[in-house]
């Protein structure tokens, strides 16, 4: 598997030199599922003091295809309230779908999510949250998101 080296490299870097102190690799037992703890790296009152758990599933075609990324609800790991994050942890973010390119990495996705949270001032879920989670597929990549206004 040709891309394996890249995945190993990414993992190694994330372990030893994460982009900032608020991104922590918790576990990546196989190379396929990675658990990462994420905090905002500013003082946004909506999220300070909270830690969120991100799960990355790295498919066989990564990095040609995007990873499957979502927040996981755990004790002491809530799903962040955000107009682009559904209460089941699914995230509506263009770079995880159509706009994915292989130069993105797990770390760069974490940074994007960090800034998405850091810049948010709306304490609310997507307007279609209730409807979405009722019918949502297990894999958020199967959802054709109509990307919400990304100025939010």
Partner 1 sequence: MTDTDESSQFDEESYPSDGSLDYDSEDQDMEDSQFWEEDEEMEPSSDNFGAMSHSEAIQVDHTALAASSQRVLEPEDLLKGQAADVARVSELTALEPWRAELLLWKDDWKVDHVITKYLEQGEKVLREAGMLSDDPVEFVISKPRPDFMCFLCCDEDKATSFKLACGHECCTECYSHYLRGKIQENGSLDITCPMNCKEIVPKPAVMLLTDKKLQAKYQSTLCTRYVRAHNDMKWCPAPDCGKAVKANISVTDESVIPIAECNCHQQFCLACNIDEDHLPCPCKVAARWLEKLRDESETMTWMSVNTKPCPKCTNPIEKNGGCNHINCTQCGNHFCWVCLGDWAKHGSSNYQCNMYSPEQAEEDQKSVNAKREQLDRYMFFYTRYNNHRDSAKLDEKTYKNITKTMETLQKEGKMTWLESRFLPSSFEILRQSRQTLLWTYAFAFFLDAQPEREIFLKNQEDLELHTEGLSELFEYKWDRIPGAKVNFLDKCSYLKSRRQKLVEHVMKGMEERNWKFLN
Q: Which residues are part of the catalytic machinery?
A: 92
Under the criterion CB under 8 A, does residue 131 sit at the interface with partner 1? no
Choose which of 20, 64, 108, 139 interacts with partner 1 (CB under 8 A).
Answer: 64
Q: Please, which residue, 1 or 146, has the CB nearer to partner 1?
A: 1
Under the criterion CB under 8 A, does residue 10 sit at the interface with partner 1? yes
Under the criterion CB under 8 A, does residue 134 sit at the interface with partner 1? no
Choose which of 20, 48, 102, 123 interacts with partner 1 (CB under 8 A).
Answer: 102
Q: Name residues whose C-beta falls within 8 Å of residue 57's C-beta, 6 or more positions apart in sequence.
A: 32, 33, 34, 67, 68, 69
- From the list 121, 129, 123, the residue with the least C-alpha distance to 148 is 129
According to DSSP, the β-strands at 23-27 and 68-72 are unpaired
What are the angstrom distances between the C-alpha of 57 and each of 8, 103, 130?
14, 17, 25
C-alpha span between 104 and 107 (Å, rounded)? 8
Under the criterion CB under 8 A, does residue 2 sit at the interface with partner 1? yes
Q: Please, which residue, 63 or 80, has the CB nearer to partner 1?
A: 63
Under the criterion CB under 8 A, does residue 16 sit at the interface with partner 1? no
Quick one: residue 49, left, alpha or beta (phi over 0 = left, psi -120 to 50 = alpha)? Answer: left
C-alpha span between 79 and 91 (Å, rounded)? 10
Binding string, 24-63, against partner 1, x = CB under 8 A?
-------------------------------------x-x
Q: Which residues bind partner 1 (CB under 8 A)?
A: 1-3, 5-6, 9-10, 61, 63-64, 100-103
């Amino acid at each position: 598997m040709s891309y394996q080296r890249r995945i190993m490299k990414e993992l190694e870097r994330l372990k030893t030199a994460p982009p900032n102190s608020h991104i922590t690799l918790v576990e990546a037992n196989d190379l396929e599922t990675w658990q990462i703890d994420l905090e905002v790296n500013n003082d946004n009152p909506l999220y300070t003091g909270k830690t969120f758990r991100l799960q990355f599933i790295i498919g066989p075609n990564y990095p040609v295809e995007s990873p499957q990324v979502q927040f996981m609800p755990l004790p002491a790991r809530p799903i962040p309230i955000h107009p682009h994050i559904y209460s089941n942890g699914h995230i509506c973010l263009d770079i995880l779908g159509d706009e994915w390119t292989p130069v993105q990495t797990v770390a760069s996705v974490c940074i994007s999510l960090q800034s998405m949270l850091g810049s948010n001032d709306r304490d609310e879920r997507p307007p279609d949250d209730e409807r979405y989670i009722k019918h949502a597929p297990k894999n958020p990549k199967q959802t054709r998101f109509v990307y919400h206004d990304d100025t939010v």
